[in-house]
């Protein structure tokens, strides 16, 4: 890191630390406001800022003054392992002493919550279903930067062909371990500037997200709803799995996110996707779809605590209260989305959270109130799809185990009820 990168990192960090806005949004704005920074500068600044956010609790515990400057110096010596004299050009002697002191503190003497980087509210929640060893392993998983995964749009090119083309253009990559559609790149190249991206042959998507779409397994010609489509990461996967046939309704309450879907849709070449802005989950606009949809995906708004590798600030921006509010919304969205599923149809409820209250507990409460829905074993579905991932009833992915973000998914099916059979028999008699 040179002196200019040090100063710029400090400026960016000072804007981010109040945590009033998402760190990635502040970082993007910072780069827009400093257009003269080169690609390498931006890389160093972003990696350092996010590295600090991933270890913020430990750094606050070991530096004398947990200011932006204190955290940055602490990070350089303690996490990056630079000798204190290597940061001498940025820091006067007093600060250097502090940095040397920070380096000497043994991290494994700190409280487990600090070592794992979980604030008290989150640590207390995790302790309800995990022991300290597991909490520490999870915390360490979230302290690693996430790899860059892309999903291949097999309507455009095969995974093998994309892999060869990326390698030939100097972007080493390999197939993702579980998703048959994914490639994992080395480092963080600007893949969104690559021709294959502009041609719609690849989209950036974590392998875990790809697996969620694969669990819905939409078929050609079906009617599908992506209830919380956002900017359409999973919508595009569903549309491609359906070979651009049938219909995928991409619903969301955010016009901005749906607008972000449009250029992606154009690149993808899909013609079966229909974005639809809704005001809320019970919007009358979607009543006409009730009971008619073959497969519904609910990628619910959630705490995002499974994405702490990418969004390390979320642990400070979420709280027990915000999670409680989200669970109300999740239950309401799941019930509304379920009403669209036709008999014999499939419903997938997914989050990028690791908390049972946003996951299993939402599904269990839903099943108790909707006896016409039954749980389908994710483990069996994965086996049928020849995806070598051992799971039980639910999909539960963790960075320290699977190398993906933390994800949860439950697959439900709406049973063909007696009443419906009776109607069918009556129609047959007619």
Nearest distance, CB of residue 179 and ligand SAM, angstroms: 14
Binders of ligand SAM among residues 214 to 233 (CB under 6 A) are 227-231, 233
Binders of ligand SAM among residues 150 to 209 (CB under 6 A) are 209
Closest CA to 189 of 170, 168, 163, 175: 170
Q: Is 299 marked as binding a ligand?
A: yes
Residue 253 interacting with ligand SAM (CB under 6 A): yes
Going by C-beta distance under 8 Å and a sequence separation of 6 or more, which residues neighbour residue 364?
none
- Considering the complex, state which of residue 139 and residue 233 has its C-beta at the smaller distance from ligand SAM: 233
Task: Kindly state the tokens that stand for 119.
Answer: 């604030």
Residue 281 interacting with ligand SAM (CB under 6 A): yes
Q: How far apart, in whole angstroms, are the C-alpha atoms of residue 337 and residue 349? A: 10
Interface segment toward ligand SAM; rule CB under 6 A; list 2-10, 29-37, 249-257, 368-376: 249-257
Nearest distance, CB of residue 218 and ligand SAM, angstroms: 14
Q: Is 226 marked as binding a ligand?
A: no
- Considering the complex, state which of residue 85 and residue 285 has its C-beta at the smaller distance from ligand SAM: 285
Nearest distance, CB of residue 178 and ligand SAM, angstroms: 17
| Per-residue x/- track, 84-123, ligand SAM (CB under 6 A) | ----------------------------------------
Residue 251 interacting with ligand SAM (CB under 6 A): yes
- Considering the complex, state which of residue 191 and residue 333 has its C-beta at the smaller distance from ligand SAM: 333
- The residue behind tokens 């009033």 is 20
- Considering the complex, state which of residue 56 and residue 267 has its C-beta at the smaller distance from ligand SAM: 267
Active site residue 302: no
Nearest distance, CB of residue 55 and ligand SAM, angstroms: 26
- Considering the complex, state which of residue 162 and residue 231 has its C-beta at the smaller distance from ligand SAM: 231
Residue 252 interacting with ligand SAM (CB under 6 A): yes
Among 257, 264, 317, 370, binds ligand SAM (CB under 6 A): 257
Going by C-beta distance under 8 Å and a sequence separation of 6 or more, which residues neighbour residue 68?
10, 13, 14, 17
Residue 334 interacting with ligand SAM (CB under 6 A): no
Residue 333 interacting with ligand SAM (CB under 6 A): yes
| Per-residue x/- track, 32-61, ligand SAM (CB under 6 A) | ------------------------------
Residue 264 interacting with ligand SAM (CB under 6 A): no
Residue 234 interacting with ligand SAM (CB under 6 A): yes
Nearest distance, CB of residue 260 and ligand SAM, angstroms: 9
- Considering the complex, state which of residue 12 and residue 212 has its C-beta at the smaller distance from ligand SAM: 212
Interface segment toward ligand SAM; rule CB under 6 A; list 177-185, 191-199, 276-284, 419-427: 276-284
Closest CA to 54 of 336, 268, 308: 308
Q: Which residues carry a binding-site annotation for S-adenosyl-L-methionine? A: 252, 299
Catalytic residues: 352
Which residues are at the interface with ligand SAM (CB under 6 A)?
209, 227-231, 233-234, 251-254, 257, 278, 280-281, 299, 301, 333
| Binding region | 252, 299
């Amino acid at each position: 890191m040179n002196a200019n990168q040090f100063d710029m990192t400090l400026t960016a960090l000072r804007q981010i630390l109040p945590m009033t806005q998402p760190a990635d949004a502040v970082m993007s704005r910072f780069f827009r406001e400093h257009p003269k920074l080169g690609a390498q500068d931006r890389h160093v600044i972003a990696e350092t800022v996010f590295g600090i956010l991933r270890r913020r609790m430990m750094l606050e515990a070991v530096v004398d003054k947990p200011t932006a400057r204190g955290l940055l110096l602490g990070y350089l010596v303690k996490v990056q392992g630079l000798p204190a004299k290597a940061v001498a050009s940025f820091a006067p002697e007093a600060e250097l002493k502090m940095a040397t002191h920070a380096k000497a503190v043994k991290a494994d003497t700190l409280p487990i919550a600090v070592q794992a980087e979980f604030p008290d509210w989150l640590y207390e929640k995790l302790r309800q279903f995990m022991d300290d060893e597991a909490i520490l392993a999870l915390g360490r998983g979230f302290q690693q930067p996430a790899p860059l995964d892309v999903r291949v749009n097999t309507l455009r090119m095969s995974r093998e062909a994309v892999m060869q083309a990326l390698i030939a253009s100097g972007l080493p990559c390999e197939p993702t371990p579980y998703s048959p559609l994914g490639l994992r790149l080395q480092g963080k190249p600007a893949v969104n500037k690559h021709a294959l991206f502009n041609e719609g042959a690849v989209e950036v998507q974590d392998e875990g997200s790809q697996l969620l779409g694969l669990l819905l397994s939409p078929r050609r010609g079906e009617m599908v709803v992506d209830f919380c489509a956002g900017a359409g990461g999973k919508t595009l996967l569903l549309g491609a799995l359906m070979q651009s046939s049938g219909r995928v309704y991409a619903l969301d309450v955010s016009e901005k996110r749906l607008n972000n879907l449009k250029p992606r849709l154009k690149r993808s070449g899909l013609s079966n996707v229909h974005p639809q802005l809704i005001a809320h989950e019970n919007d009358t606009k979607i009543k006409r779809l009730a009971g008619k949809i073959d497969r519904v995906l609910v990628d619910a708004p959630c705490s995002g605590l499974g994405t702490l590798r990418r969004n390390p600030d979320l642990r400070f921006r979420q709280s027990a209260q915000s999670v409680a509010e989200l669970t109300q919304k999740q239950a309401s969205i799941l019930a509304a989305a379920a009403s669209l599923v036709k008999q014999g149809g499939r419903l997938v409820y997914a989050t990028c959270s690791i908390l049972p209250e946003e996951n299993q507990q939402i599904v269990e409460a839903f099943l108790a109130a909707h006896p016409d829905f039954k749980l389908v074993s994710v483990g069996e579905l994965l086996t049928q799809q020849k995806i070598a991932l051992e799971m039980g009833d639910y999909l539960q992915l963790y960075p320290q185990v699977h190398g993906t973000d933390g994800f949860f998914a439950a697959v439900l099916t709406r049973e063909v009820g007696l009443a419906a059979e009776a109607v069918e028999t009556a129609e047959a008699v007619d």
